[in-house]
Amino acid sequence: MLSRRNAWLSVAALVGAVLAGPSAWAAGQALIPARSEVTFVAKQLGVPLQGRFKVFAAQTSFDPKALAQSQIAFQLDLGSVALNADADTELRKPDWFNTVKFPKATFQSSAIKAVGAGKFEVAGKLVIKGVSRDVVIPVQLTQAQGVSLATGGFALKRLDFKVGEGDWADTSIVANDVQVQFKLALQGIPAL
């Protein structure tokens, strides 16, 4: 019979394994946060507003020569949004990101396909505010001096994820389309 302490350790190990995701996360592959960024452009009353997220993380097991076994997971701290002081406070509220209940947005790849030299389409599930949608994200991968730079962007409809509910659902005030751009510096990715 397991002692209470050993039972808790077993549960903690199981939870850790689930949270860590696939056992295939490659040792040595890591995001370089200081050289990475996630930005977005939304329009309010037709005026483009550019913001960014200051805190995010990625786990990869990516080999351009073994795409069927490759995986990418990404987490974004929604409370780290940076647009301007007033907007940042508003965006954390329930009508927008509801960061108390949904602190993170996540992406988990389900398939990666090569579409050209250093170009890939990464399909997977994007989850924001508990709403899951299938997305395909185009990614350009370049490599230099041991660092792989993954860049790309995609459009999403904020209302598909319940971002901007209530009075903010009026798309004549805040447009439904949001453009997301990213630049992720990664180490440990095998050569193209």
pLDDT the model gives residue 5: 37
CB 188 within 8 A of CB 147: no
The share of the chain scoring above pLDDT 90, in percent, equals 84
CB 19 within 8 A of CB 64: no
Amino acid identity, position 13: A
Given a cut of 60, whether residue 23 has pLDDT beyond it is no
Predicted confidence (pLDDT) per residue in 163-188, tens digit: 999 999 999 999 999 999 999 999 99
Cα 46 to the chain's mean position, in Å? 26
φ, ψ at 34 (rounded to 5°): -65, -20
Q: CA-CA distances (angstroms) from residue 44 to 83, 91, 153, 171, 173?
A: 12, 13, 20, 9, 6
* Domains detected in the chain: 24-187 (2.40.128.110)
Cα 95 to the chain's mean position, in Å? 21
Cα 53 to the chain's mean position, in Å? 10
DSSP-based helix, strand, coil % in the chain, nearest 5: 20, 50, 30
pTM of the model: 0.84
Q: How many CB atoms lie within 10 A of CB 35?
A: 13
